[in-house]
Every structure is written in C-alpha cells, then in structure tokens.
Structure 1
Amino acid sequence: MKLRYVMILSFILMISALAACSGTGGSAGGSAQNPVAVKHDLGETKVPRHPKKVVVLELGFIDALLDVGIKPVGVADDGKPKFINEKVREEIKGYTSLGTRAQPSFEKIAALKPDLIIADSSRHSGVYDKLSKIAPTIALKNLNADYQDTMDASLTIAKAVGKESEMEKKLTEHKEKLNQLKEKLPDQKQSILLLGNTNDAITVRDENFFTSQLLTKIGYTYGVGDSQKNDAENGESVNIKMTVEQLLEKDPDIIILMTGEKDKVDQNGKRPIEKDPLWNKLSAVKHHKVYEVDRFAWSLRRSIDGANAVIDQINKDILKTGKTE
C-alpha cells in the first residue's frame, strides 16, 4: 500500500513539474498565446509579448529600440554603416545588414527568424504583406516623419516590445531638454533654414520635415512656410529647389548647411555657391550665422535621440553656451 502511495505521489509531482516547465520554460510559448494588438499606419498587428529578435527597415527606428534596451538583430542600412551615428553603431555591433532601406532583402530578413519587423509606412507599404508573411510587422512613419510622427512612432514601438513606461520617461526627459534650450533663445524670434545639396540648385528642407518642426518647437521661425508652394502631398515633407536669388528673398537669420558626401567642395572645404556675390549678401552670411552640420545627424536620425543631438549642437555651436545638457 505504501509503495502504491509513493508511486502515485511521484506521478503527481512529475506532472506538476512538467506543467510548470511548459508555462515558464521560454517566453516564446507564452508570447505566442498572449500577443499584443498594436495599431500602426497600415492596420493592426498581433505582436508576441516582449519580442527578442527585432529587425528595422529605417534608421530612425534603431534609436527607439535602444531607448528601451533592445538591440536590433538586423538593419536596412543601405550597406553604409556610416549612415548610423558612431556611438549607436558601436552599441548595435554585430547586426546583420539587410540591404537598402528602399529594397531590403527578404531572404536576409527571413534568415534571422525575427519576432518583429518594423517597417516604414511610406517605403514599404507595397511589400507589407510579403513582410508580414515572414514575421509580425508594424509600419510607421520615419522617412517622411514630422516631429510628432516621430514621437508617436517611438511610443508605438515601445508598446510593441512591452516597454511603454521606459519610453514615456525618455519623452519626458526630451521635452524638459527642449524647454531648457527654448528659454535660452533671444526674445526676438530668429528665422532659420535647413539647406542640403547646393551643387546645381539649392535644396531646402520644407516646413513639414522632422528637423524643421523641431526647430520651431525650440522657438525659431522656419524660413519657409505654408505660403511656399511645393509638391508636398498629405503634409509629407519634400525638398524645395531654390536659386540664390530666391534664397535671398527669404533671407533667413540663420542658415544650417547639412553637408553630405555628394556636396561639391573645393580644397578648402567650401561650396562653390559660397563664392557667389549674392550668397555674400545674405544676412546669415554677413553676420556669421551659417553653420555646417552633419547631414546624417540632422536629416537621417529621425528619433528622440536625434532630436536631442540637434538640441545639443544648437546649445554648443549656435548659442555657444558651452557644455551640452
């Protein structure tokens, strides 16, 4: 009788142990059974709880993941790691390059067996279904994101990976940083303009661009506004082409030259346009208010951390307050 009792007890304990293991042995089992419904630009996707292997198909999404302690296993980086901030690049060292942002490699994405894909709703709307067959996919604005789009996307990503409180804290810190800089600006509002390539025509970022809107949040007046006719649709950002004469009509107080690898410069690092007599009539030029910045940092890094980096550079180089905060 005793032996039978011991055998029954042992059997019950074994069944209990197996049940416990199946419940806690890995996040994947529990995650698959209790997914999180995430609303995004192209619909609603059920995402496994706390996904571990995440790939991103736009650069700005990298920062959003790092902000909540997750390193992407794959990034569409155009095969040019230098597009990514140096410090960030070091943090995600070992990631798999997934090809170009415009045409990422589906084979490379599938090979990583991701739990979650974060796509761009502008670039990847046409291949969204194909991506969704590989893994749960959410699509958000980054390529054509304005300031608020970027903040909203960061929160959506945080929800998708179960880290909303961490992102909310990051957003609060960013807003405090922005307000601190705003208080340092002169009482009289200054106009500011972002210039990209100037080889054939002057390329100006419009008022819907992420960094343009950040500058207005800080307290600047952006040099082109709603009255500026361009090809923007649905509020999306476009580049405006200008001549030097048209730029002189705008005559901003501050000019930001976003310099990239395609800009023509002479042996002294100067652009040909800087020798134009009309260029030298600009108020920003005459008052030494032309600042050269890294286009990758001011244009491609559309994220909370990218915004913070812009704030730091304005603090240091434009307002010249010394240490960044």
Structure 2
Amino acid sequence: MRYGKQLGIAITYVMMAVLILACGSTGSNQASGSNPAPTPPPASTPTSDSAASGTKETTAAPQGNRIIKHDLGETTIQGTPQRIVVLELGFIDALLDVGLKPLGVADDNKPNLIVEDALKKIEGYTAVGMRAQPSLEKIKVLNPDLIIADTDRHKNVYAELSKIAPTLSLKNLNANYQETLDAAATIGIAVGKKSEMDKVLETHKAKLKALQSKAAGIKKSVLLIGNTDTEMTVRHAEFFSSQLLSTIGFNYLLNNNSKFGTVDRNVKMTIEQLLELDPDIVILMSGDIDKKDKDGNRPVHKDPLWQELKAVKTKQMFDVDRYAWSLRRSVQGANVMLDQTEKEILKLK
C-alpha cells in the first residue's frame, strides 16, 4: 500500500518534468519566430546594361552579331569593330562621322591625298599600300576586326581579304552621290553607330535642301574638268561630284548625252568638243599633277579656243581642290562642295 503510494508520486514527478521541458522547448521556438535574424542588405542595384546582361559589369554589353548586306554578298560582324582598315579614301570620313578612326588606310603612300582636316584626325594610322593594290601582308599584321573595301577596285581580292577579317565591299571609287550616302549608312550599321550616322545624314540633307531653295530658278549649265595637260578629262554625269551638282539644281551638260552616255567616270574631250557644249560654268579641279604657271594659269588657258568659251568670257570659271571635289567621296566631301558652291560659284550669301 505504501509502496503503491510512493510509485504514484514518482510517476507524477516524471510527468511534471516532461511537461516543463515541453513548455520550455515551445517557448524557445516562439521566441525565435517572433524575433527573426536580420535580413542582409540587398546588393547594389545594377545598371540597366548590367541587368540586361546578367553580369555585374557597369559597361554596356557588346552588341550582338549583325548580318550586313553589301555589293559582294553578306558579312557577319560580331560586336563593335574597333580595329578597322579602309581601302578607299572616302571611307575615312564615314568612320570619323561616327567617332571612329581607321587603324589602317590604303593611301597610295601619299598622305597628302587625304584632306588636311581628316588627316589630322587620323594621325598615327598605318599605311597599307596602294588603293588599287593594297598590301595583304600589312593588313594582316594589323589584325583588323573589319575591312572596308571598294567594290570596283577590290572585287578580285575580296575572298583573300575576307580570310583576314570580316570585309564589306562598297562603292566609292566610281560611286555617284546617292551611292556615297548609301555606303555611309551601311557603314554606320556595320560599326554599331546607326543613330549617329542617321544624324549626320539628316544634317547633310537639310543643308542640301537649304541650298536647293536658294538655287531655285538658276538653270545654269556646268561641267567639271580634271586634267587638261594633254587632253581634257570631264567628269561623267553619274560621278559623285557631277550628280551632286545636278541634285543642287544645275544642268550638268552630260546628263542624257548619247555621245558620252557609256562612259563611267571620265570623258576624254578636245577643246573643240568642249566649245561645242559651251557650259555657262566651268569648274576646274586642280591638284599637284596639273601644270600651272606662277599665276596659277594652265597652258590650255592660252589656247584661243579656250578664250571663246562662254564661261571664260563671263568669268564663270572656278578653280577647286581636286582632293576635296573628287577624291573625298563622302558626306563631308559633299558638305564642302555645298559650302563652296554657295559662297563662290552661286555667289549666294
């Protein structure tokens, strides 16, 4: 009896101990739930470029691959080209227009072929030989990530150039005015600078429109003449400078001229033929190769037939820089022509 009473008391103590332990455990859990550990501060918010790329870099992610259509096919360009080689002079301006500089230039080993303002901006470039026959070895050493070639000059070496780097083939040597603008637009897309090039083209077109408005109603005929030493070379109607003059509003006398309609760039002409056309305005493009006396006159100026030209009699003969008006086939080259035409040839203020 006494033993049973003692056993009951012992069992009671055990149950009370278990209950106390259980309550203590529950209390500990509740305390943990009511006072959670502090949440670590969030990492710094990435820039929009970083968020898009999924990296912590704050610089813009490289642009994706682009397939560029050009005269000799399609070329895939990865990222944004920086090491660019150009094989015609007009392509220099296209790069400068969007804030880039060519690493290599085919300049015929004559830097003076490049107009002075552009030459200063690309100081330090590497010459890669002749425009007609650039040095593949020199180009390869530069390890370019883009080559811009001329369709007419370089179509036979396009495959070899493409083995060195992605290569675009565009018209420049024989490009007309519109083809020059189109090439600039293509280059802008190729180097990932479309918006920048669009602004350059829009500014040029506004400049052209303003001059067209001022020149409205002036239907003067004009011809562009290059060399005169042995025979005269007159630029054809589809040449870059000639077409721009027509676009301004001049009557370029070789437009729709069946006699000279099949010539691509230069028309060989005698003084007799020039006198037969007898333009209102003659624009002489001069360079280092032209023979001139100390007063700047060419031998042809002494020819009696030359003196019979209407443009000579009315003092509408103008001398311009051949490098600017012929070799600089670019948007900036066109802008120079517009400025000089307005200030000197049309005498519009």
Aligned with 1:175 (options 173, 184, 205) = 205
1:246 matched residue in structure 2: 273
| 1:302 equivalenced with 2:329 (yes/no) | yes
Q: 219-228 vs 205-214, which deviates more?
A: 219-228
1:269 matched residue in structure 2: 296
Distance 2:76 2:262 in 1: 33
1:109 matched residue in structure 2: 139
Distance change (3 Å), C-alpha of 1:302 and 1:135: same
- Letter in structure 1 aligned against 2:303: D
- How far the C-alpha of 1:202 sits from its partner, in A, is 1.2
2:257 matched residue in structure 1: 227
- Letter in structure 2 aligned against 1:248: L
Distance 1:219 1:121 in 2: 29
Distance change (3 Å), C-alpha of 1:144 and 1:161: same
Aligned with 2:88 (options 53, 58, 63) = 58
Count of matched residue positions in the alignment of Structure 1 and Structure 2: 297
Distance change (3 Å), C-alpha of 1:158 and 1:81: same
Distance 2:161 2:261 in 1: 30
- Letter in structure 2 aligned against 1:245: E
| TM-score (structure 1 length as normaliser) | 0.87
After superposition, what is the alpha-carbon deviation per residue over 1:83-112, rounded to whole angstroms, capped at 9, x for unaligned? 111011000100001111011111111111
1:107-186 residue pairs with structure 2 within 5 A? 107-185=137-215
Distance 1:227 1:316 in 2: 29
% identity of equivalent residues: 56
- Letter in structure 2 aligned against 1:61: F
2:123 matched residue in structure 1: 93
- Letter in structure 2 aligned against 1:143: L
Q: 255-264 vs 209-218, which deviates more?
A: 255-264
- Secondary structure in 1 aligned to 2:74? strand
> Aligned-pair RMSD on alpha carbons?
2.0
- How far the C-alpha of 1:229 sits from its partner, in A, is 2.8
Distance 2:211 2:122 in 1: 30
- How far the C-alpha of 1:201 sits from its partner, in A, is 1.2
- Secondary structure in 1 aligned to 2:223? strand
1:16 matched residue in structure 2: none
| 1:290 equivalenced with 2:331 (yes/no) | no
| TM-score (structure 2 length as normaliser) | 0.81
Q: Moved runs in structure 1, 4+ residues, more than 4 A?
A: 20-27
- How far the C-alpha of 1:24 sits from its partner, in A, is 5.4
Q: Structure 1 stretches of 5 or more lacking a match? A: 1-19
- How far the C-alpha of 1:265 sits from its partner, in A, is 1.6
1:280 matched residue in structure 2: 307
After superposition, what is the alpha-carbon deviation per residue over 1:141-177, rounded to whole angstroms, capped at 9, x for unaligned? 0001001110110010001001111111111111110
After superposition, what is the alpha-carbon deviation per residue over 1:122-155, rounded to whole angstroms, capped at 9, x for unaligned? 1000000000000000100000100111011001
- How far the C-alpha of 1:272 sits from its partner, in A, is 1.0
- How far the C-alpha of 1:183 sits from its partner, in A, is 1.8
1:41 matched residue in structure 2: 71
- Letter in structure 2 aligned against 1:208: E
- How far the C-alpha of 1:26 sits from its partner, in A, is 9.3
After superposition, what is the alpha-carbon deviation per residue over 1:198-250, rounded to whole angstroms, capped at 9, x for unaligned? 111111001010000000110101021222434747xxx32111111110111
